[in-house]
Amino acid sequence: MKKLMKGCEALGEAAIRAGCRHFFGYPITPQTEVPEYLSRRLPEVGGVYVQAESEVAASNMIYGCGAAGVRVFTSSSSPGVSLMGEALSYMAGSEVPVVVINIVRGGPGLGGILPAQSDYFQGTRGMGHGDFHLIVLAPASVQEAADLMMEAFDIAEQYRNPVMVMGDGIIGQMMEPVEFKEPKQRQLPPKTWATNGAKNRPPNRIHSLFLDPVKLEDHNWKLKRKYDEIEKNEQRWEVYSTNREYDLLIAAYGTTARIAKTSIDMLASEGIFVGLVRPISLYPFPYQAVREAAMKAKQILVVEMSTGQMVDDIKLAVAEHRPIHFYGRTGGIVPSPDEIAQHIRELLSKK
């Protein structure tokens, strides 16, 4: 049964439906409705809502709660997520499963409060110090945000690694009908590693310090093998109108992918055929799928609400076998279907 919900609230409800009863957060536009919703809703289900004194503290609270083997998540937006970088590195290093929502806003610095996609590099590469990855999932609708959120907890626990659901201001603020469906069943290992009291077992340690370089290197390669496994199993993407010839392929994720679909439909009515590939997992990035879609086109247009970040991954996927163009709007300005279509007309008309 579908219900009209704001993105932020749907994300909060999805967490509860996934069995999560603990949230530690901090207000920041445009995601404040997540903590607001949960401060009312969690007590209703016997859960715990704590408003931390900062995102630094909130991220360390979920570190402790996750280390104790309890399902937990936090939510923030770009500048707040930057403050969580240290703790996320610790959680990846000590293999603690948690979920983090980033409702991206304009940057850098205080930036703006309108939607953006300028945290792509941060989420997929620069979240914190050391060799680690967050699994980053990018929804393009409120329904998909809820679906990905519900599954994020299982993914985090399966791989014992933080998972980030990265939306943008639009995903967080718009209202769309949503229903909460059980994610596919996963074989989740028991949390024998959790620090929940050494009863009838030797003490557990949740730590990332390895002063012995041999042990730290072993640990790094162990994490690398985990990320290889994730890259093998967790890639997600969508293609749109690629089942026929197309001269140009658009690569876009999240909100901009939806906008691009309208451009595609518009151009199709003019006899200009364009395809779309939409990565849903930004890490692990679907290089192979992008490559396959790209090879059928003469050129590729990457559209982002940034000055170009995912474009780098597209280049990696296609290895420059095709000219790759970029079109971006920033500062909170959202590209319109018309301007994308117009840009494509110019690209295709240029010989």
Partner 1 sequence: MKAIFTRPQSMSTTPTHYCPGCTHGIIHRLVAESLDECQVREKTIGVAPVGCAVLAYNYFDVDFIEAPHGRAPAVATGVKRGLPDRFVFTYQGDGDLASIGTAEIIHAANRGEKISVIFVNNAIYGMTGGQMAPTTLPNQVTSTCPNGRDVTTAGYPIRVCELLSALQTDAFIARVSVHSPKNIIAAKKILRRAFQYQVENRCFTLVEFLSTCPTNWGLAPKKATEWLDKNMIPYYPLRIFKTPEQGVLPA
Q: What residues make contact with partner 1 under the rule CB under 8 A?
A: 22, 24, 48, 50, 52-54, 56-58, 60-70, 72, 86-87, 90, 94, 195-200, 203-209
CB of 43 to partner 1, least distance (A): 13
Cβ proximity to partner 1: between 6 and 160 the closer is 160
The whole-angstrom separation of Cα 152 and Cα 311 is 25
Q: What is the smallest separation between the CB atom of 70 and partner 1, expressed in angstroms? A: 4
Q: How many CB atoms sit inside 10 A of residue 338's CB? A: 11
User: Is the CB of residue 58 less than 8 Å from the CB of residue 35?
Assistant: no
Distance, C-alpha 105 to centroid of its chain? 14
Pick the closer one to partner 1 by CB: 100 or 324. Answer: 100
Least distance CB 111 / partner 1 (angstroms): 23
User: Which CB, 81 or 297, lies closer to partner 1?
Assistant: 81
Residue 89 to residue 108: CA distance in whole angstroms: 21
Nearer to partner 1, 60 or 255 (CB): 60
As measured in angstroms, the least distance from the Cβ of 93 to partner 1 is: 9
- Residue pair 18/153 in contact (Cβ under 8 Å)? The answer is yes
CB contact at 8 A, 16 and 45 = yes
Minimum distance of partner 1 from residue 47's CB (angstroms): 10
Dihedral sign (CA 42, 48, 54, 55):
negative
Please give the structure tokens belonging to residue 135.
């699994």
Main-chain dihedrals φ then ψ at residue 333, nearest 5 degrees: -80, 130
Spell out a b/e string for 171-201, using b for 16 or more CB atoms within 10 Å of the CB, else e: bbbeebebebeebeeeeeeebebbbeeeeee
Q: How far is the CB of 110 from partner 1 (least distance, A)?
A: 20
C-beta of residue 65 within 8 angstroms of C-beta of residue 24: yes
> What is the closest distance, in whole angstroms, from the C-beta atom of residue 53 to partner 1 in the complex?
4
Q: What's 53's DSSP letter?
A: S
In the complex with partner 1, the residue whose CB is nearer, 198 or 214, is: 198
Q: Which two tokens stand for residue 342?
A: 């117009």
Nearer to partner 1, 70 or 251 (CB): 70
Residue 65 or 277 having the CB closest to partner 1 = 65
